[in-house]
Amino acid sequence: MKTARVAYSGAIHTATPHGDQLRLADGRIVAEEAVVWLPPFEVGTLIALGLNYADHLKELSKELTVTAKDEPLVFLKGPGSLIGHRGQTRRPADATFMHYECELAVVIGKTARNVKKADAYGVIAGYTVANDYAIRDYLENWYRPNLRVKNRDTCTPIGPWLVDAADIADPMNLALQTTVNGKVTQSGHTRDMIFNVPFLIEYFSSFMTLYPGDLLLTGTPDGVVDCQPGDVIVTEIEGLGALVNTIAAQASATKP
């Protein structure tokens, strides 16, 4: 099952696909463009992975201070970074290189502590698509993303759907693709993750409790390019849908 959260006629609704339209929980049928798409569920803690695909690590290898790691590179993001499908992401006025990152996003469905890899899929509620933008100008150390790079308002679109875990036979066997203004610029596959989903759930739950609604962003493959105001970015994952996002100009950059 696929579900979305949308704002329509002064209220927030759960919606499901209805052909090329949406069916609201009260039975009304509305056009996709008639609603404001929100993140498809109430997000708790947002845990994000960096450099979790070998090809992306290689893509950045000349600029990294460290090129090998025994544990995942992890950072947290705040709720202000999130927007929904068809939303706009602001590009800082002083940015010279801002790029998308198409990522499989894993939604936790049960309180989880000390979960073993063999049991990891049992705590997952579902999956969605995330686009975790980065402004590379602001990196202080290529191996450790800082707040101005990865926790900016509007820079993490997710959606359009929350897809039930039961409907995805193998999340480690999904194709990913990004287009910029209709041109394919990134292609990859979740099987190429360095740290796969069961590993990540075991790893995180070994030292922190995961709660329903927590979201794990699992990294991106290579193929990132600079995005300019007006560009339409579509990040798509097999079985999960296509997340549409537009870059907008920001009047002035936020200074530290």
pLDDT tens string 6-18? 999 999 999 999 9
Nearest to 248 by CA among 226, 227, 234, 222: 227
Q: What is the 3-state secondary structure (H, E, C) of 79-110?
A: HHHEECCCEEEEECCCCCCEECCEEEEEEECC
For the cut 90, the answer to whether the pLDDT of residue 44 exceeds it is: yes
The domains of the chain are located at: 1-38, 41-249
For the cut 60, the answer to whether the pLDDT of residue 96 exceeds it is: yes
Nearest to 128 by CA among 44, 246, 41: 41
Q: Residue 66 — pLDDT band, cuts 50, 70, 90?
A: very low
CATH 3.90.850.10 fits 41-249, yes or no: yes
Average pLDDT over residues 13-26: 97
Contact residues for 87 (Cβ-Cβ < 8 A; gap 6+)? 37, 154, 157, 245, 246
> What is the predicted pLDDT for the residue at 140?
67
For the cut 90, the answer to whether the pLDDT of residue 72 exceeds it is: no
* Other Cβ atoms closer than 10 A to 42: 10
Q: Give one word for 86, left, alpha or beta, with left for phi > 0 and alpha for psi -120 to 50.
A: left
Which of 33 and 53 is assigned the larger pLDDT? 33
Which of 114 and 253 is assigned the larger pLDDT? 114
Which of 59 and 107 is assigned the larger pLDDT? 107
Which of 53 and 169 is assigned the larger pLDDT? 169
Alpha helices per DSSP H over 113-217: 147-150, 197-205
Question: Which CATH topology does 1-38 take?
Answer: SH3 type barrels. (2.30.30)
Q: Give yes or no for a contact between 127 and 105, defined as CB atoms under 8 angstroms apart.
A: yes
Q: Residue 138 — pLDDT band, cuts 50, 70, 90?
A: confident
